[in-house]
A and B are shown apart, each in its own frame.
Chain A
Amino acid sequence: MIAALGTLALVAGLAAAIAWTVLWLVVALTDEGLRTARVVTGIALAAAVGACGALEWALVGHDFTIDYVAQNGGRAVPLYFTVTSLWSALDGSLLLWLLILAVVGVLLARGSGGDCPRHRAWAMVTTGVVAVFFFSLVYFAANPFEPAEVVPIDGPGPNPLLREHPAMGLHPPLLYAGYVALVVPFGYALAALLLGSDDDRWLVPARRWTLGAWSVLTVGITLGAWWSYAVLGWGGYWAWDPVENAALLPWLTATAALHVTMSRRRSGVAGWALGLFTTTFILVLVGTFLTRSGAVESVHSFTESPLGPMLLGFVVLTVAVVVGLLSMRGFHNRFADDPPRWWSRDAGFLYHAILLLGVAAVVLTGTIYPLISELLSGVRTSVGADYYNRATVPLLLAVLLLMGVAQLTARDGTGPRQLARRCVLPAAAGLVVIIAVGFVYRPNPMVLTAFGVAAFVLAGVATVWFSAPHRRSRPGLIAHAGAAIVAIGIAASSMAGSATLTQLRIGQDVTVAGVSARLTAIERHTDPDRMTVTARLTLERDGRSLGTVSPVLHYYPRRDTTVGAPAIRSRPAGDVYVTLTRADEGNSEASVRLAVNPLISLIWFGGAVIAAGGLVSLVSRRRAAHSPIGAQAADAPLVAGAPP
């Protein structure tokens, strides 16, 4: 019954998405039928809500006649994690994709389309085509409402790793929201290519959408890193896993797009913006293909379901459309009459974009290298985290340095000498930090550089923040401060990185970086669907107690799987991170990994600050748009204001 309703919702959604595309095409060509087109977009959203609702209903009601529920549901699973099971496996997560895409469509369809209704209509056509594709993908290749072959009495529950942490309810939806909303700037870019006029007003809504999507994606990626740190218990937060890279790649190019579109003369950078918006969404599709098709596991596994070929086909189609349109219309970066001077802020935006594209190229190469090498030579390989650390860190440091200099430049006007003068104070701050950290901790050169450059950026933020009469540059400064904070967190936590894995008997202790942990008890506990081993340890530093921690191991008999959950004691100076890796049968001995990660929480804090910068910019620009100053002539800056 529910299965039939869910499938019906998918069919209705597919039909509505087709109608959405056609009707918005009519709007784009004739300027008529706007109201009907909007209604149909709303129907597509209703269908997506219906499909998600049906699956949630089945999950919460433990309807094991549906295969997805039989695979991922379980009677003993807490309600919260039953609800999040919607996106804890492939088929359901694609439903979430659809739901967010439909929400994005409805939001984009609101209103009259502002200054560029035809661009908006074409963007809706593009979004509609993507919606048609994803509705067909779910319906034909990954229908979560397929009946179960054997109806079990109880299900195994979701993947145990995905029910250990409350972030599971936030991280995937936010990540998807940021990811999927990037379709809108892509739609505007295609519209600009199709319409081909010199009208660059489309860059304003495209940038606003990018800003919103990027902010949400930033939160999603940061939560993902935190989740990885707090659940997986391997002590790190970023493994350069294909799933992580898939989220990072569009984030990098979207960051570049956000900077380029801040240029004083937006007509001068329309070509750059086109290239970056389209690249960003192509990377979204490539990432979806890599992570949802099994292609990363092995080139040969991805044809096992029609999902892989369908996604690959859509990627190829999108690239073909973009390349075709670009070669028809050509790039037009019309800087010809009034080129930006090389030390100006406008030029800085372009340098920044180039560097970020460089980072993206490094990450993309590492991510698809195993695929290419298997295709060409049949040899299966994997690229280790060392590759990424080695190859991206120098580039990221260059990005940070450029960020620090660029925020001190004026829009135009000032000469290199004035810029050099502005750099003096922040550079001095950076040098002081390098000398101080270098003397006290003697870290490796990369880490030391990171500290210095981060201090340079933060000092620059402070000088501009307080000296500039233009408050509107502050969102960007907030984001820069966030990036510097993240850099400090990464550098500091990689520097000490002290950890040890030891076997402890009850009463024994182990010490790492001044923190000692004493094993006081091992307890076992049985729940209806899992068994838990808990180790109790008391922490101490210099004779002062830091309280007790209880890392656990959960065994899930229905999945015959054991997963661990670390215990983390966060303090401002750093985290004490304790993982239980094994406990003997007699409850007298346990293997414990004790790690001290200095300043690691700065990474999550800095990520939140970056996202806050984006959101502040979104809100303050909205306010500016309603004021007479914001509604300036066509060639007004996309982001008002900057230091003098």
Chain B
Amino acid sequence: MSRFRRRPRGPVIVLGVVVATAVALLVTAGLQDTIRYYRTPSEVAQSSASVGQSVRLGGRVVPGTVRHDGPVTEFTLGDGDSTLVVLAPGALPDTFREGQDAVVEGILQPDGTFRADTVAVKHSNEYRAATPASGRTPP
């Protein structure tokens, strides 16, 4: 292979190796506790494996279950089979409505409730131009 007869690109190769290593390290370190497991209420009901884990929970807000209780809002998310009580901080925005799909992120408590730190409303599954999870609310 005459093309490879000389390797004049020493610094390029060294930097390539350095960057590849850095990327590998950054990716593995970065993924450490930023991965959120996506679960449905049924999956949570079936196993207790996700207790204490950082979970993203998707489901429909069961109509008639939203209660404002001082600094906490309580509502129930369901997926047709199972339901789960979610506690979210503060008053939820008006973009959050009963009967609609919502995605909450937070930690599943040992008592079976879900303590959410973010509540996102799912408007539709449609294409959204460069839109982050819509209706995001500040934690």
Contacts and interface: CB of A to CB of B under 8 A. Distances in A.
A347 B127 contact: no
A390 B136 contact: no
Contacts of B16: 354
A384 B36 contact: yes
Nearest to B40: A380
Nearest to A393: B26
Interface in B1-60: 1, 3, 5-6, 8-12, 15-16, 19-20, 22-23, 26-27, 29-31, 34-39, 56
A593 B126 CA distance: 27
B112 interface: no
A162 B134 CA distance: 11
Nearest to B95: A562
A304 to B, nearest CB: 10
B67 interface: no
B11 A243 contact: no
A362 B26 CA distance: 8
A488 interface: no
A355 B19 contact: yes
A89 B125 CA distance: 10
A243 B126 contact: no
Interface in A144-173: 159-162, 168, 171-172
Contacts of A225: 130
Contacts of A559: 123-124
Interface string B101-139: 000000000000000000000011111111111111110
Contacts of B130: 171, 175, 224-225, 227-228, 241, 243-244, 247
A87 B129 CA distance: 9
A620 interface: no
Contacts of A591: 90-91, 93
B81 interface: no
A350 B12 contact: yes
B92 interface: yes
A563 B95 contact: yes
A581 B136 contact: no
A386 B33 CA distance: 9
Interface in A333-364: 333-336, 339, 342, 347, 350-351, 354-355, 357-358, 361-362
A591 B73 CA distance: 14
B94 to A, nearest CB: 4
B123 A160 contact: yes
Q: Which of A89, A380, A392, A564 is most buried by chain B, counting CB atoms within 10 A of its CB? A: A380
Given A382-B56, A391-B29, A581 B129 contact: no
Given A241-B133, A354-B12, A553-B95, A561 B37 contact: no
B22 A235 contact: no
A493 interface: no
Interface string A218-238: 000000110110001011100
A365 interface: yes
Contact of B123 (A351, A561, A564): A561
Contact of B26 (A160, A332, A394, A593): A394
Nearest to B18: A354
Nearest to A172: B129
Contacts of A236: 132
A419 interface: no
Contacts of B93: 562, 564, 581-582, 591
A391 B26 contact: yes
A589 to B, nearest CB: 10
B134 to A, nearest CB: 6
Interface size for chain B: under 10, 10 to 19, 20 to 34, or 35 or more residues? Answer: 35 or more
A503 interface: yes
A532 to B, nearest CB: 12
Interface string A24-58: 00000000000000000000000000000000000
Nearest to B58: A380
B100 interface: yes
A560 B97 contact: yes
A521 interface: no
B9 A350 contact: yes
Contact of A582 (B19, B31, B91): B91
A333 B9 contact: yes
Contacts of B124: 159, 559, 561
A336 B9 CA distance: 9
B23 A390 contact: no
A234 B136 contact: yes
A411 interface: no
Q: Which of B15, B19, B127 is most buried by chain A, counting CB atoms within 10 A of its CB? A: B127
A340 to B, nearest CB: 8
Contacts of A239: 132-133, 136
Contacts of A172: 129
B125 A297 contact: yes
Interface string A409-435: 000000000000000000000000000
Contact of A244 (B94, B126, B132): B132
A177 to B, nearest CB: 14
A562 B125 CA distance: 16
Given A347-B12, A382-B38, A387-B30, A336 B134 contact: no
A369 B133 CA distance: 18
**Interface pairs A-B: 10 shortest CB-CB:** A239-B132, A339-B8, A380-B38, A391-B30, A581-B93, A224-B130, A387-B34, A234-B136, A342-B11, A391-B26
Given A232-B136, A335-B8, A347-B11, 6 more contacts: A350-B9, A381-B37, A383-B36, A395-B19, A560-B100, A561-B97
Interface of A: 87-90, 93, 159-162, 168, 171-172, 175, 224-225, 227-228, 232, 234-236, 239-241, 243-244, 247, 291-292, 294, 297, 330-336, 339, 342, 347, 350-351, 354-355, 357-358, 361-362, 365-366, 369-370, 379-384, 386-388, 390-392, 394-395, 499, 501, 503, 533, 553, 555, 559-564, 581-583, 591, 593
19 contacts: A89-B127, A159-B128, A172-B129, A175-B129, A224-B129, A224-B130, A228-B131, A243-B128, A355-B19, A361-B27, A365-B27, A382-B38, A384-B35, A386-B30, A387-B30, A499-B138, A501-B138, A561-B123, A563-B123
